């Protein structure tokens, strides 16, 4: 059975537990067998086959790795594509050979790792390093600025060195046009080939390909863009919202928003301690109790949960993000769930706790596959002991 995908033949496969076939391909490598002369770096290697599969698993002989484990093997010198001159090479059924002093290699160990990453990308129909460099090149031709030159350099240097000259598919110029740009040499205008109608798509694609933001940074930017200039409080949590374990859901905030973005850092998450201090001081300054009835119950529940599981991330949010003093003050036009919908798309809580019939009804209507603990509204009829009893249901 032979598979073909892209420019390579994929003649190996393995059978998954569900009976489907997982395709792969191979690369030759040297595997360390023995160090027989430590002083002279004399080692005995065998020529082996590295099998790379679509699911990201890698096999060499009887050993199985993921990509990180393979990098570790290469770093420790157990798998390599370069052998020291004083070493020997064993090829099964043929014999043992000395290494010729001026032997040259097509690639180094860094190239091997890059090539394995490219193969896994190609097996999964994702752009490999050459494709990403082509996108960066087109983007530079559309907008030749310093930032796009840097994107181009990063993309170009991510390509295995033995593949770089083929990146543009030009057998005459090879990769010279790209190298001229990277090393600040003038580029002839004849290389500008991007048609105007394709430029927006290329820009968007390249932006997605080269976005190196962390998941939390992306979440922050998307949420901030979604919120716009509205004075809202999307959520409150202790730490990284993407690691939410317990999600507490109400109808809408009763207290005016209080500089939400001041307490949300894209690198670390939400600083609830500072937010809560400011929240309490604002209420005291306004002649109110430091905590509202609802806030008091939420903090009782938080204290109870964290006393047992210190590392839990507990988020509280609302179906509607716009704050109003009373539920009836929220007009029909203000009843927009766009913030809540965004959170639901990005979070994977283990349990949801709703308080109030409106929150319970809304959660039931969207049919989520997450356990839901429905409670009456936290504004009235609660004590610390009753709040702590919620733990018995979790």
CA separation, residue 295 to residues 311, 313, 316, 318, 323 (Å): 21, 17, 10, 13, 14
Cβ pair 317, 247 in contact under 8 A:
yes
Q: Where are the domains of the chain?
A: 3-123, 129-209, 216-393
Question: In this structure, what is the dihedral angle of CA atoms 61, 66, 106, 25, given to the nearest 10 degrees?
Answer: 70
Three-state SS at 187: coil
Q: Which of 101, 358, 129, 100 is nearest to 251 (CA)?
A: 358
Q: Of all helices (H) and strands (E), which one includes residue 96? A: strand 95-98
> Is the pTM above the cut of 0.75?
no
List pLDDT tens digits, range 234-279: 999 999 999 999 999 999 887 665 688 999 998 899 999 999 999 9
Q: Which CATH class is domain 216-393?
A: alpha beta
CA separation, residue 300 to residues 81, 263, 376, 384 (Å): 60, 22, 15, 6
Q: Can you say whether the dihedral through the CA atoms of 379, 382, 383, 384 is positive or negative?
A: negative
For 86, phi then psi, to 5°, come to: -85, 5
Cβ pair 253, 277 in contact under 8 A:
no
pLDDT at 313: 95
pLDDT at 303: 93
CA atoms within 13 A on the CB side of 336: 11
pLDDT at 174: 84
Task: Report the distance separating Cα 125 and Cα 113, nearest Å.
Answer: 19
Q: Which of 60, 57, 63 is nearest to 81 (CA)?
A: 60
Cβ pair 389, 373 in contact under 8 A:
no
Three-state SS at 128: coil
Task: Report the distance separating Cα 234 and Cα 250, nearest Å.
Answer: 12
List pLDDT tens digits, range 337-347: 889 999 999 99
How many residues are there in the chain?
394
Q: What DSSP string runs through 73-92?
A: HHHTTSEES---TT-EEEET
pLDDT at 367: 77
Task: Report the distance separating Cα 215 and Cα 69, nearest Å.
Answer: 23
pLDDT at 170: 83
CA angle 23/25/26 to nearest 5° reads 150
pLDDT at 7: 45
Which stretches within the chain are classed as H helix? 67-75, 109-123, 129-142, 146-157, 176-182, 199-209, 215-227, 272-285, 293-308, 338-346, 357-366, 384-388
pLDDT at 38: 64
Q: What DSSP string runs through 298-342?
A: HHHHHHHHHHH-TT--EEEEESS-S--SSGGGS-GGG---HHHHH
Residues of the chain below pLDDT 50: 1-8, 186-194
Task: Report the distance separating Cα 222 and Cα 241, nearest Å.
Answer: 13
């Amino acid at each position: 059975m032979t598979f073909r995908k892209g420019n390579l033949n994929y003649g190996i496969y393995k059978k998954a537990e569900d009976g489907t076939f997982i395709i792969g391909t191979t690369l030759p490598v040297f595997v360390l067998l023995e160090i027989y002369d430590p002083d002279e770096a004399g080692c005995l290697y065998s020529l082996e086959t590295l099998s790379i599969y679509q699911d990201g698993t890698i096999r060499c002989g009887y050993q199985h790795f993921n990509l990180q484990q393979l990098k570790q093997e290469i770093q420790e010198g157990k798998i390599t594509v370069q052998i020291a001159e004083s070493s020997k090479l064993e090829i099964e059924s043929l014999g043992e050979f000395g290494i010729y002093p001026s032997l040259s290699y097509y690639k180094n160990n860094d190239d091997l790792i890059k090539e394995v990453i490219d193969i896994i990308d190609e097996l999964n129909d994702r752009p490999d390093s050459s494709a990403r460099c082509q996108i960066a090149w087109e983007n530079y031709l559309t907008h030749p600025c310093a930032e796009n030159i840097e994107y181009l350099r990063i993309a170009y240097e991510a390509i295995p060195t033995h593949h770089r000259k083929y990146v543009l598919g030009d057998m005459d110029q090879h990769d010279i046009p790209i190298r001229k740009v990277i090393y600040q040499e003038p580029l002839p205008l004849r290389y500008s080939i991007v048609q105007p109608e394709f430029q927006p798509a290329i820009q968007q694609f390249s932006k997605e390909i080269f976005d190196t933001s962390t998941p939390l940074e992306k979440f922050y930017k998307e949420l901030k863009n979604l919120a716009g200039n509205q004075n809202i409080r999307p959520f409150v949590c202790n730490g990284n919202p993407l690691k939410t374990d317990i999600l507490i859901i109400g109808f809408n905030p009763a207290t005016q928003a209080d500089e939400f973005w001041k307490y949300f850092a894209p690198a670390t998450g939400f600083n609830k301690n500072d937010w809560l201090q400011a929240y309490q001081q604002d209420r005291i300054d306004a002649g109110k109790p430091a905590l509202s009835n609802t806030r008091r119950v939420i903090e009782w529940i938080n204290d109870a949960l964290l006393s047992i599981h210190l590392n839990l991330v507990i988020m509280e949010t609302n179906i509607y993000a716009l704050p109003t003093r009373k539920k009836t003050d929220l007009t029909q036009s203000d009843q927009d769930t766009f913030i809540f919908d965004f959170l639901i798309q990005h979070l994977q809580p283990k349990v949801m706790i709703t308080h109030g019939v409106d929150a319970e009804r809304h959660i039931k209507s969207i049919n989520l596959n997450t356990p839901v603990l429905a409670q009456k509204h936290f504004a009235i009829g609660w004590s610390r002991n009753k709040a702590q009893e919620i733990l018995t249901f979790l």
